[in-house]
Structures are given as structure tokens and as C-alpha cells.
């Protein structure tokens, strides 16, 4: 297994946070480890949808699956992720309601 560092960590974290459901999953797992079915109920998302997002988060190296009998319990891969999420939540953004992130990114790539 490779260990991601520096820009790779930020890119993986950014990819995970770019989807609202994945961001909500990370915030839920910041509070406590959970089973996929409980996460689906908590977020109001289908179990298949939660499973797909958890697979993505595992691929990014942000969550791990811990076998418990016949079930898998998910938790943040590193306690530092919980702290990082808390730090991000404390940031105050001044948002221009006429400009969406997609608009800004599209112009930057043009």
C-alpha cells in the first residue's frame, strides 16, 4: 500500500469533499464509526448509494472498513481527518451568490 503525501493528500481530500453526500458521510464518521445501513438511514440516501460513496472514500484513503462479524463498520482512516474537517468547518467563506464554483473552475481552465 502506498502512503499519500502533500499535494496528493489534498487532491484526494478535495475529490472526496467535492460531492455533498461524501462530505456528509465524512462528517457523520467524524462523530463516530458507523455501519453503512445506519449511514444510509441517517443521510436519507439509498444503501447502494452509500456503498458506492464509501468505496470512493476508501479508494481515496480517507475511510477504512473494520470487519465486525458479518458486517463492516466504517471509520475515518486517521484521527487527523476529524481534526481537519473541524478546521475546515471553522472557516468563514464570503460567497458571491452570482458565481458558482463550476463557473469559476470552467473559466480557470479556459
17-35 pLDDT tens trace: 889 999 999 999 999 999 9
Contact 28, 57 (CB under 8 A): no
Q: Which domain holds residue 11?
A: 6-109
Domain harbouring 70, CATH code: 1.10.10.10
For residue 1, is it within any domain? no
What is the mean pLDDT of the segment spanning 2-16?
Answer: 77
What is the mean pLDDT of the segment spanning 84-100?
Answer: 85
pTM surpassing 0.85?
Answer: no
Amino acid at each position: 500500500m502506498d502512503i499519500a503525501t502533500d499535494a496528493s493528500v489534498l487532491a484526494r481530500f478535495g475529490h472526496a469533499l467535492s460531492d455533498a453526500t461524501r462530505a456528509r458521510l465524512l462528517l457523520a464518521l467524524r462523530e463516530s464509526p458507523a455501519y453503512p445501513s445506519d449511514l444510509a438511514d441517517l443521510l436519507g440516501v439509498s444503501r447502494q448509494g452509500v456503498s458506492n460513496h464509501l468505496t470512493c472514500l476508501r479508494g481515496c484513503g480517507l475511510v477504512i472498513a473494520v470487519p465486525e462479524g458479518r458486517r463492516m463498520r466504517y471509520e475515518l482512516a486517521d484521527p487527523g481527518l476529524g481534526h481537519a474537517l473541524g478546521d475546515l468547518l471553522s472557516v468563514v467563506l464570503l460567497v458571491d451568490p452570482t458565481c458558482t464554483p463550476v463557473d469559476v473552475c470552467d473559466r480557470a481552465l479556459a
